[in-house]
Amino acid sequence: MILPSPLRIEPIAGYSPTIGRLVGMLTYARSTTFAAVDGLTMADLDHLQDANSNSIGALLAHFAVVERSYQILTFEDRELSAKENERWSAALKLGASGRQSLRGYPLEHYLDELTTVRRVTLEMFAERDDEWLERSVVQAPKINAHWAWFHVAEDEINHRGQIRWLRARLPKRLAPVRP
Amino acid sequence: MILPSPLRIEPIAGYSPTIGRLVGMLTYARSTTFAAVDGLTMADLDHLQDANSNSIGALLAHFAVVERSYQILTFEDRELSAKENERWSAALKLGASGRQSLRGYPLEHYLDELTTVRRVTLEMFAERDDEWLERSVVQAPKINAHWAWFHVAEDEINHRGQIRWLRARLPKRLAPVRP
């Protein structure tokens, strides 16, 4: 996979021009997410800043199911099945159910999920063209595929702002003793 | 000014195609900022969630000077002057100096600033083409103009995520007594 230069938005080899620019945005957003959570422990990922806060781990789980949902909506032209809705509900909706169930995973678990779902997104983009990107979403004709995928980046960036805020306020832990 | 449909990213009359798609993203991001601060009082805008937090007002001021700075960098091909740097420093850097100086303004003050600076952005975009959007920024050749303007939206979305978080935690005030 050819990764775009992180600080340029431009056509990328292997994608149609406008899809390439979009891939640049999605890739940049994802790289800042990875930087924002680098080195976090399971305790950090599970920490709740207050009674209404989402944990950083829950927000990472959210990114993966949001992206998977938009794959289904735009690549498969369908809505989520009842089973998918049920399985992803906590990560999609966050809040109380996310606080309850999205805990106890190490960072690698979330990063693996994100990497796996992104691989599919990029494969699907490589098979499509700019005309596809501009067409209306079948199940939601007020939006087009380009907006849908801009929104995937936009939602991630929104919550990444929250992750940065939360990370700066994690309880300080004693550094591990070095031998 | 023709506003794009908020839920489509596509060419917009009056702009070259790729600039039009970018305008769609910037416009959508700005509309969600305005929604996130709708109805806030001066006390809400000045409130500090904790000793290291930026107020919502300071974040709104930040959006305006970031956009103005990228206008200078990409439309005027220069860096900020010492005078501009000094005048905008608190809003650009946020943190302690922002907490001290960016207070005491009503919501309209911030929204007017944002509207004024955006008007210039859109005028400048209307005069330029997609080739301009892809060229390197003279003063920062590792980035191109498209990335610069994506970043303006991206930075705003990041902090809008924080604004939503902060707004949900504003101290509850007694509703004004209705006659």
B41-87 confidence digits (pLDDT tens)? 999 999 999 999 999 999 999 999 999 999 999 999 999 999 999 99
> Contact, B102 vs B91, CB < 8 A?
yes
> Contact, A152 vs A66, CB < 8 A?
yes
Contact between B134 and A18 using a beta-carbon 8 Å cutoff: no
| Number of C-beta neighbours around residue A85 at 10 A | 12
Q: What are the pLDDT digits (tens) for B104-157?
A: 999 999 999 999 999 999 999 999 999 999 999 999 999 999 999 999 999 999
Of A8, A134, A157, the CB nearest to B144: A8
Contact between B50 and A169 using a beta-carbon 8 Å cutoff: yes
Chain A partners within 8 Å of B10 (Cβ): 134, 144, 146
Q: Which of B84, B108, B93 is nearest to B58 (CA)?
A: B93
Across A59-76, average pLDDT: 98
Q: What are the pLDDT digits (tens) for A1-29?
A: 445 568 999 999 999 999 999 999 999 99
What's the rounded Cα separation, in Å, for the pair B66 and B68?
5
Q: Which of A89, A115, A116 is nearest to A102 (CA)?
A: A89
Q: Nearest chain B Cα to A49, which residue? A: B165
> Contact, A71 vs A120, CB < 8 A?
yes
Statement: residue A174 has pLDDT above 90: no
How confident is the model at residue A5, as a pLDDT? Answer: 63
Q: What are the pLDDT digits (tens) for A129-146?
A: 999 999 999 999 999 999
Q: Nearest chain B Cα to A9, which residue? A: B147
C-alpha distances out from residue A173 to A44, A58, A170, B85, Å: 10, 21, 9, 38
What's the rounded Cα separation, in Å, for the pair B89 and B154?
20
- A–B: how many Cβ contacts below 8 A? 86
B141 contacts: CB under 8 Å, gap ≥ 6: none
Question: How far away is chain B from the Cα of A12, in angstroms, using its nearest Cα?
Answer: 12
How confident is the model at residue B131, as a pLDDT? Answer: 98
Chain A partners within 8 Å of B165 (Cβ): 162, 165
Contact between A150 and B50 using a beta-carbon 8 Å cutoff: no
Statement: residue A72 has pLDDT above 90: yes
Please identify which residue in the block is written with the tokens 């801009």.
A150
Across A64-90, average pLDDT: 97
B164 contacts: CB under 8 Å, gap ≥ 6: A158, A162, B36
How confident is the model at residue B175, as a pLDDT? Answer: 60
Q: Nearest chain B Cα to A159, which residue? A: B161
Q: What are the pLDDT digits (tens) for B4-23?
A: 568 999 999 999 999 999 99
Q: What are the pLDDT digits (tens) for B79-97?
A: 999 999 999 999 999 999 9
Mutation pick from B26, B66, B165 vs chain A, by most beta carbons of A within 10 Å, is B165
Touching check for A68 and chain B: CB below 8 Å?
no
Q: By three-state DSSP, how is residue B89 classified? A: helix
Statement: residue A66 has pLDDT above 70: yes
How confident is the model at residue A1, as a pLDDT? Answer: 43
> Contact, A15 vs A126, CB < 8 A?
yes
Statement: residue B179 has pLDDT above 60: no
